[in-house]
Structure 1
Amino acid sequence: MAAESQLSGFPPGYFVIRSVATGRLWDVSLDEVEDGTEIVLWPEKEHSLVESLRNPDANNQVLFIDTSGALCSRASGHAIDIEDERLVLRHRRPVSKPYPNAYSHPLPQFSYDRETQQISVTYTCDPTYPPPGSGASNAWRRKSYILSSIPMRKPKSLIDNASAFISSAVTAPFSFFSGSLAAPSKTTPEEVFSGDIDLAEDEMLEQDRGEEGEVDDSVELVRKLRVLAIDPRDAPPEGPNARKRRQWQVLALRTSAAHRRVSP
C-alpha cells in the first residue's frame, strides 16, 4: 500500500503519457538535459511498449516515479517541476533562503486519476513564491491544478487578414458628420480569434476560450502543455474538446511481449 501511495496513480517502472486530445506524448524538448528545458507534446517516436524492442532515442518520451515520489524523465533522470505554468526539467537544487522561493522549493506532486484520466498537481507552498512580508494570501490553496494540452491554430493567411480588415472597416461605427470613429467597445474572445487582437493560444483563459479557441488545425508538430489553476467558484469549461484536452493515457512499458495462449 505504501508503494502504491508513493506512485500517486502512476504505474511502477517506466511509462509514457499520451494526450487524449492530440495523440501526442509528453516529450522533453529536443532531448535536452539542461535545467529548465520545457516538457512539450510531440508525435510518438516509438510505438512499441516492449522495452527490448524500443529505440533508446525515444527515452525523452519516457517517464517514471522515483523513490521520493517525484515525476522524472528517463532520458536525463531529472525531475519535472512547474515554472510559469509550464512543465520543465529541474535539477536538484540546494536550499536557499528565504525558503521556499522560485529558485529553491519543494517539487510539486503529480497524481493520476485512472477514472477521469486527469493529472492533477499538488503544491506544498504558493507556486507564485511571493517574497516574505508581501502579505500574500492563501487563495492558491482553494484552487485545483490540472494539466491540459493547448490547441494551436494555423497562421492566418494574407486573404484571412484582408478579409478581417475589410469586415472590421465595414462594421466599425463611423460618424460621417464628426469625421471620427466611435469609442471602441469591450473586446470579446471572438474578436481575439478573428484577428483583431493577437494573443498566443496559451495566453487565453480557459473560460474565455470559446468555440473558436478550441480549433487545433496547425501543421506544427509540437503542442504546448500547461497547468490550469481552477477556482471552484468559476465554472470550468465542460465542452467535449475541453474535457479531452485535460485527459491523458498513461501506458506502462513492458519487459516482454505478451504471449497469446494457444488452445490444445
Structure 2
Amino acid sequence: MILDRFRVPDRVAVVTGAGRGIGAATALALAEAGADVVLAARTRSQLDEVAERIAGTGRKAHAVAADLADPAAAGALADAAVTRFGRLDIVVNNVGGALPRPLLDTSTGFLEDAVRFNVSTAHALTRAAVPAMLENGGGSIVNITSVVGRVAGRGYLAYGTAKAALAHYTRLAAADLAPSIRVNAVSAGSIATSALDVVVGDPELRERVEAATPLRRIGDPEEIATTVVYLASPAGGYLTGKVLEVDGGQQVPNLDLGLPDL
C-alpha cells in the first residue's frame, strides 16, 4: 500500500528541541510511523511528557536533557542513539531561534550566537551522525529552517541570517553526503508554538498575522511534523538538498514589528 512508504519501521531517530512545539510533534509523528526516538531539549519534565506519549504508541523513547546551544552536546546525541538503540537512521535538527531586534542593537556577538545555535549545532549533530548512519547503509537528515530565512523584514537580521545559512547548509551537506544520506529541510512559517504565544493569545494581533498569510491561518506543529515524516521516509526517497516551504504561502513577512526608519 502507498501509505506504507510513509512508515519508518524499526528505525531510530534523534530529534532536537523535542520538549514541545514542532520538535515534540515531530518526535511523536516519527514514533507513530514506527521509529524509536532520542529526545533532546533543556527541560527534563517536558521530555518525559513526550516520552510517555511515545510509549503509548508502542515505540521507545530516550530523553536527554542538554543545553544544545553547546554543539558538543548536540554531537553527543548520535552516540546516545547508538548506545541506547544500536543504530541511527534519522536526524531532525529542530533546535534554534533568536529574538528579534533592530540592526543597531544586534551586536556581532549576538549574530554569532544565532549562527552557532541554529547552524553550528545542526552541523555538530550531522557530522557525528554520519558514521553511525553509514553503518546501516545511510539515512535521512531534516533541518528545520524558517520562512524568515527567505523573506526580508525589519528586526529579523540575526534569526533570518542564521536560518538562511541553515537552508544553504542543507544543500551543501546534501551534495557532500549523497547518495547514502539524504539531507533536506523544512522552511516553517508562522506555527502555533510557544514562540508565537504573544500572537496566538492576542486576537487583534492574530487576526493581522492571519490576514497577511495567503492561507489566512496560523500553522499547526503537526503540519511540520508530517512534512518531516515524508522527508525522512521512503516516500521522500528521491529528494535531497531540497527546502520544502510549509508557510501558508508567505512571500513577505506576516508580522510587522513596527520598527521605525532610522
The two structures have a TM-score, normalised by structure 2, of 0.28
Structure ID, larger Rg: 1
Higher normalized strand content (fraction of residues): 1
The two structures have a TM-score, normalised by structure 1, of 0.27
Greater RCO between the two (CA within 8 Å, min separation 6)? 1
Higher normalized helix content (fraction of residues): 2
